[in-house]
Amino acid sequence: MRANKVFFITATDTGAGKTVTTFCLGVLLKNLGRNVGVMKPVQCAGQDAQFLKRALGLKDESSLINPFYAPEPLSPHLAFRRAKISFDRRRVQGCLKELCARHEIVLVEGAGGLLAPITDACYNADLVADLKAELIIVARTGLGTINHTLLTISEAKKRRLKIKGIIFCQTGPAKGSLPEKTNPKEIERLSGIKVIGTIPYMKPLTQKSILQQCQNLKLNI
């Protein structure tokens, strides 16, 4: 049910930079000649899935990329309940199967962190297991990220999810603080999980700026 590789992009919390990271990975992998597709199974408000489809020049149907959408910016379980949307894990698996038939690599962007509930009985972590994906954890660079990142790693390990690595994403201009400088190495040392690299704050965020500024990412995909 999978392409050569399926990666689930999760994060330590909302707003950590999952969409930016997914876009950057897509650009870098396409630049290496890889056939890349994306998926955003669950989206609550916003235009993340539409942005990724447009920015990466993908022809896949929006209904495959984003099968479940709710209009309010809430936790998925609440947004779907309020919109009277019935979430179906099998439909997500079916959409991924079709995308896998078209692409060598599929990047799946989650909604929130691993324990963000999609329904009362299904969390993002359950979706990772359903899709048999490897995790890429997106983390902030500043103070507090050690705790958030180690908690995410701990939950992933408890559930026996395979972790590909950690990507740090600067969602604003770098401050040059000591935590920003030391957190990636400290988290790698404490967790034993490889740090893939850091995505700098880029404005504007374009394919050109990504190719110029994100060569530090050690993809090995």
Rounded-to-integer distance, Cα 168 and Cα 197, Å: 6
Rounded-to-integer distance, Cα 180 and Cα 3, Å: 35
Q: CA of 7: how far to CAs of 68, 80, 82, 94, in Å? A: 19, 25, 30, 16
* pLDDT on residue 2: 47
Report cis status (omega within 30 of 0) of the bond before 200. Answer: no
Q: What residues are paired with 28 via a beta bridge?
A: none
Rounded-to-integer distance, Cα 105 and Cα 99, Å: 9
* pLDDT on residue 39: 98
Per-residue pLDDT tens for 59-81? 999 999 999 999 999 999 999 99
Largest CA distance in the chain: 47
**Which residues are known catalytic residues?**
40
* pLDDT on residue 220: 80
- Using 50 as the pLDDT threshold, list the residues of the chain that sit under it: 1-3
* pLDDT on residue 216: 84
* pLDDT on residue 1: 42
* Four-residue CA torsion sign, 80, 85, 89, 93: negative
User: 215 exposed, middle or buried (CB, 10 Å; 0-12, 13-18, 19+)?
Assistant: exposed
For 5-213, CATH gives 3.40.50.300
pTM (predicted TM-score):
0.95
DSSP string, the chain: ---SEEEEEEESSTTSSHHHHHHHHHHHHHHTT--EEEE-SEEESSSHHHHHHHHTT--S-HHHH-SEEESSSS-HHHHHHHHT----HHHHHHHHHHHHHH-SEEEEE-SSSTT-EEETTEEHHHHHHHHTPEEEEEE-SSTTHHHHHHHHHHHHHHTT--EEEEEEE--S-----HHHHHHHHHHHHHH-PPEEEEEPP-SS--HHHHHHH-TT-----
| Phi, psi at 134, each rounded to 5° | -90, 145
